[in-house]
């Protein structure tokens, strides 16, 4: 039996309300370096936080959301093509962030099980979506959720680590060249 898109919209909306003002457990776990899946390189999790920030941004306001709104508003794209495009664009990232693949990945890879869950439920609801406007309405709720989670990851990313990664200007480069006994040439 398929999922009714209006019921799913309410479910997503309820999740948005839960995470709007209160940091979700998945974000708290991630910022503390708790990844039951084992994600991370050499027991480091900065890369995980980077990907959580970047991938949720790509799924939301930066890439997939504007693309979907463009095709939904373009008469050259049918409802069926829009539905399939959502699967192609959203599915790989949603499943990377939230899938469990036993035995090597015993928990959601990047702590985001609701991403895979909601993506799959949206696809399951396709049979009840009869217009592009209905799909847009459902995706509006989905992108609201994705963008809110992205805001949390943007907030908890340890930006202070960038203090040691200062941009170099021409004077800095000249100073380094002088220290090394090199002469800079303009090109």
SS3 letters across 11-32? HHHHHHHHHHCCCCHHHHHHHC
Residue 170 inside a domain? The answer is no
Cα–Cα distance for residue pair 129/86, rounded to 1 Å: 14
> Does 176 map to a domain?
no
**Angle at which helices 79-98 and 113-124 pack, to 10 degrees?**
160
Does residue 153 fall inside a structural domain?
yes
**C-alpha closest to that of 79 among 152, 5, 20:** 5
Distance CA(74)–CA(72), nearest Å, equals: 6
Give dist(CA 101, CA 81) in Å, integer: 29
What's the whole-number average pLDDT of the chain? 95
Give 95-118 pLDDT, tens digit per residue.
999 999 888 888 999 999 999 999
pLDDT, residue 36, reads 95
**How far is residue 178 from each of residues 167, 171, 175, measured CA to CA in Å?**
18, 10, 5
Q: Is 36 part of a structural domain of the chain?
A: yes
Residue 136 maps to a domain? yes
For residue 13, being part of any structural domain is answered with yes
Q: In the prediction, which pLDDT does 93 show?
A: 96
Global pTM exceeds 0.85: yes
Task: Note whether residue 169 is domain-resident.
Answer: no
Note down the domain range covering 63: 5-161
Predicted pLDDT at 185: 86
| Residue 100 covered by a domain | yes
If one counts the domains in the chain, the total is: 1
pLDDT at residue 187, as a whole number: 80
Q: List the chain residues with pLDDT less than 50.
A: none
């Amino acid at each position: 039996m398929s999922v009714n898109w209006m019921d799913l919209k309410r479910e997503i909306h309820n999740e948005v309300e839960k995470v709007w003002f209160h940091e979700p457990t998945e974000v708290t776990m991630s910022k503390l370096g708790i990844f039951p899946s084992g994600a991370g390189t050499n027991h480091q999790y900065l890369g995980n936080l980077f990907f959580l920030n970047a991938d949720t941004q790509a799924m939301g306001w930066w890439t997939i959301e504007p693309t979907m709104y463009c095709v939904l508003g373009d008469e050259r794209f049918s409802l069926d093509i829009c539905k399939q495009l959502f699967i192609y664009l959203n599915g790989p990232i949603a499943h990377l962030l939230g899938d469990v693949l036993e035995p090597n990945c015993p928990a959601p890879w990047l702590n985001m099980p609701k991403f895979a869950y909601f993506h799959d439920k949206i696809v399951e609801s396709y049979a009840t979506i009869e217009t592009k406007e209905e799909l847009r309405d459902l995706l509006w709720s989905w992108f609201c959720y994705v963008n809110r989670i992205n805001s949390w990851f943007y907030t908890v990313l340890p930006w202070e680590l960038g203090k040691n990664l200062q941009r170099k200007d021409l004077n800095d480069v000249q100073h380094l060249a002088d220290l090394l006994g090199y002469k800079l040439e303009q090109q």
